[in-house]
Amino acid sequence: MSQAAPARQRRWDWRAAGNFVGGSGAGVLVCAALARALGAPAGRAPTVAVALGLIIIAAGLTSVWLEIGRPLRALNVFRQPRQSWMTRESWVATALFAAGAASLWSGSTTALMAAAALGLGFLYCQGRILAAAKGIPAWREPRIVPLILATGLAEGTGLFALVAVANGPVPAWLPLALIVLPLCRGIAFQRYHKALRRSGAPTATFAVLDRAARPFLLYAVALPAALAILSFLPDPAGAWLIALAGAAAFVGGAAFKYTLVVHAAFDQGFALPHLPTRGAGLAGAATKPGWRMP
């Protein structure tokens, strides 16, 4: 039975997970753009955040570059924009770096807005990359796309909080964002998990996700939100609590993505809708080993 049961995929390891964690950088860019757009005093934070966001995205892409078999051919990744979300992610990332660099060099708000919009596109591409992987039931569930978007934004907000605490006054909207975005990703996770239960997935995938659900909701959703609520206390405790909320929002999201990409990703396995007749016997019932059906 074991030959047909779903097995954990081994093609994408921590290096591929690193690319998805790199999506946090997009969230940082969105926060930087928001800080600039709202015009609130934020010191050097938006500029530092743009640099950090670009570095994180670049680190993620470098991480996945280390995984490919033929790294010197990496530019071939740009060849299929008509179909492949991986190609689209590459094109969006290129435009994002151009806009981000222009923003850093000129201080242009328009360039920063463009970088933030492209950041959202980058996160969307990452969600679609996973959703297009038909061989992995935990990824192909369409509700993974809003989950990747929500957690990327929450992680990015967490990182932006760390930057803001270190580099200037904390924008007034930041504690609210650190309450709302982790809650959004908690809801996105619950909806994803529920949809997966409806569509069915390997038993082993559910074992991983069920085990991860509680710590995720506790440490990546409730904890940052609670710390952000407490941060309305006067400084210096408020700033520390914002920083802690940010760290929890980022680390919790990154750990979840690692779990999703590396541990929960079991393949489809094999199934027989009919067992064959043998000799004068009758055909047998269907078998789909290692699956939990709805």
By CB under 8 A, name the binding residues for another protein. 1, 3-4, 7, 9, 11-12, 16, 64, 67-71, 73-74, 76-80, 83-87, 90, 129, 132-136, 139, 265, 267-268, 270-278, 283-285, 287, 289
Residue 136 or 145: the one with the smaller Cβ distance to another protein is 136
| Helix-strand-coil split of the chain, %, nearest 5 | 70, 5, 25
To the nearest whole angstrom, how small is the minimum distance from the Cβ of residue 88 to another protein? 9
Q: CA distances (Å), 73 to each of 79, 89, 169, 253, in order? A: 11, 17, 45, 31
Closer CB to another protein, residue 116 or residue 196? 196
Residue number, 41 or 81, with CB nearest to another protein: 81
At its nearest, how many Å lie between another protein and the CB of residue 10? 9
Rounded Cα distance between 223 and 91, Å, is 36
Whose Cβ is closer to another protein: residue 169's or residue 289's? 289
Burial of 281 per CB tally in 10 Å (0-12, 13-18, 19+): exposed
Q: How many angstroms separate the CA atoms of 46 and 167, rounded?
A: 9
Which CB, 17 or 228, lies closer to another protein?
Answer: 17
Single-letter amino acid code for the residue at 69 = G
Phi and psi dihedrals of 41, rounded to 5?
Answer: -65, 125
Q: Smallest distance, Å, CB 34 to another protein?
A: 31
CB 289 to another protein: min, Å:
8
Computed over its alpha carbons, how large is the radius of gyration of the chain? 21
Least separation in angstroms between residue 99's CB and another protein is 22
Q: How do beta strands 201-202 and 291-292 pair?
A: antiparallel
Q: Left if phi > 0, otherwise alpha if psi is -120 to 50, otherwise beta: which for 171?
A: beta
Shorter beta-carbon distance to another protein: residue 106 or 277: 277
Please identify, using beta-carbon distances, which residue of 224 and 290 lies nearer to another protein: 290
Distances (CA, A) of 50 to 61, 143, 177, 205, 206: 17, 29, 18, 36, 37
CB of 42 to another protein, least distance (A): 37
Secondary structure letter of residue 286 according to DSSP = P
Q: What is the DSSP letter of 201?
A: E
CB of 105 to another protein, least distance (A): 30
Residue indicated by tokens 């390891």 = 13
